Amino acid sequence: MTQPLPPIRIGDTLPACEIRITQDMIDVYAAISGDFNPIHVDAQVAAASAFGGTIAHGCIPMEPVFQSIMRWRNSEALPPDTTIRLRYRAPSRPGDVIRSEASVRSERQLEGRRLIEIGFVCLNQRDERVIDGECELTP
């Protein structure tokens, strides 16, 4: 159940969230999604690749953004009409700690709906940008 949001202002920051990526997490995601690309699950194959080791599936390092929005909304899920645009800047690997930073960029009306745009970035433990983008949702 979603609780009403407090008044929203441009520039408001969302709660910071983070996860530590593990190979077990990657393997579980592979089993759930059916994506067994060796770059994710085969240490030997991945070591010989340009990445030099396994990397996480793209949804895994996005998890802190999802958590941040859900905490901000005090809900257990994103609204069904949420749209996300993102750019992958660098791979995320087992051992990386990925954290999100997000803030409200704009608020507007579209076809009778109130839309909030949130800008976000995912950074690893070295403060390297691994993902950035924006999402639009109804509060």
- Candidates 18, 4, 5; CA nearest to 130 is 18
Judge: domain 57-137, CATH 3.10.129.10. Answer: yes
Per-residue pLDDT tens, the chain, 139 aa: give them. Answer: 555 666 788 999 999 999 999 999 999 999 999 999 999 999 999 999 999 999 999 999 999 999 999 999 999 999 998 999 999 999 999 999 999 999 999 998 888 888 999 999 999 999 999 999 999 998 8
Tell me the three state secondary structure of residue 60.
Answer: helix
d(CA 19, CA 64): 6
Residues for the chain: how many in total?
A: 139
| Distance, C-alpha 64 to centroid of its chain | 5
Single-letter code of the amino acid located at 3: Q
Every domain of the chain and the residues it spans: 57-137
